[in-house]
Amino acid sequence: VGVILLVFMTASGGAAGGYEEMVNQAEREDALRQAKFAASVEKQHKEVLHEESLALQIEKAESKKRSEAEEHARERTRNAESQAQASAAASLASRGPKLSK
């Protein structure tokens, strides 16, 4: 009877150990899945941040180009107005003496 009891206790202990190993394995696999998922989410987050950063850089560059183009247009307008005024003044000056004769 003692031998049978010893065999039964060893067998049940082995079964309990096997169950604990299965639980531990399942927990390790679950932890690994969670870690992989977290890494995937982190990677996607970094990609989104990078894309947003690139979009902001592009927007800034385009804004700078627009500002420069607007400034060049204003400068051309000022130059054209100055030339028109100078031309009008020269025209009036050249007519002035002829009208006084």
Walk along the chain (101 residues) and give the pLDDT tens digit of each residue: 454 544 554 555 555 667 888 999 999 999 999 999 999 999 999 999 999 999 999 999 999 999 999 999 999 999 999 999 999 988 888 876 555 44
Q: pLDDT (tens digit, 9 = 90+) per residue, 48-73? A: 999 999 999 999 999 999 999 999 99
User: How far apart are the two ends of the chain, measured CA to CA in Å?
Assistant: 149
Single pTM value for the model:
0.51
- Classify residue 100: in a domain, yes or no: no
Count of domains forming the chain: 1
Asked if residue 67 belongs to a domain, the reply is yes
Instruction: Give the pLDDT confidence score for residue 101 in this predicted structure.
Output: 47
Distance CA 15, CA 9 (A): 10
Owning domain of residue 9? 3-95
Q: How far apart are CA 91 and CA 98, in angstroms?
A: 11
- Please report, rounded to a whole number, the percentage of residues in the chain having pLDDT higher than 70: 77
Flag whether 69 is in a domain.
yes
